[in-house]
A = this chain, B = another copy of it.
Amino acid sequence: MFKHQVSYRVRYADTDQMRFMYYGNYARLFEIGRVESLRTLGCHYTELEKTGVWMPVIDLQSRYLKPAFYDDELVIETRIPSLPAARILFEYEISRTDGVVIHEAKTTLVFLSCSTGKPCRAPDLLKSALLPFFH
């Protein structure tokens, strides 16, 4: 399994009038987890797109265990539990700096050809970057 951590500071833009991070704004955190975890593997999302592949999210499952508040410094842990084939699964665990897990989520993404809009296989660039973590 591949794991990666990145931190995120909650902004005023993220909060709502309950003083919580708005439930829709966690999607940005998952995106940051995905992109930054792949970047550490030398696998830049912009380069994946240049190979003609888009990766839209087709499934999202999110559990809000505790609220996140303004100025909290969160840790986003991203995991890729298996090698991608027609799809790629990302799992996320978001914690406060005191270690308390406040959020768990999963997203499934597919690979689409930018030109045809049809599903395609995972790019070699991505598979070869992940291969060392799965043997």
Chain A residues proximal to chain B, CB less than 8 Å: 11-13, 15-20, 22-28, 31-32, 35, 44-46, 54, 56-65, 67, 70-71
> Cβ of B17 and Cβ of A23 under 8 Å apart?
no
Instruction: Please measure, in the bound complex, the distance between the C-alpha atom of A32 and the C-alpha atom of B70, giving whole angstroms.
Output: 12
Distance of A130 from chain B, by nearest CB (Å): 20
Given A56-B64, A60-B60, verify A22-B18 contact (CB < 8 Å): no
Report the minimal beta-carbon distance from A6 to chain B, rounded to whole angstroms: 11
Q: Which residue of B lies closest to A61 (CB)?
A: B61
Instruction: Tell whether, in the assembled complex, residue A28 and residue B57 are in contact, meaning their CB atoms are under 8 Å apart.
Output: no
Looking at the assembled complex, report how far the CB atom of A52 sits from the nearest CB atom of chain B, in whole angstroms: 13
Besides A12-B22, A24-B27, 6 other CB < 8 A contacts? A11-B32, A11-B35, A12-B35, A13-B16, A25-B27, A61-B62
Are A64 and B59 neighbours in the complex by a CB distance under 8 Å?
Answer: yes
Partner of A24 from B13, B18, B44 at Cβ < 8 Å: B13
Q: Which residues of B contact A17 (CB under 8 A)?
A: 12, 15-17, 19, 70
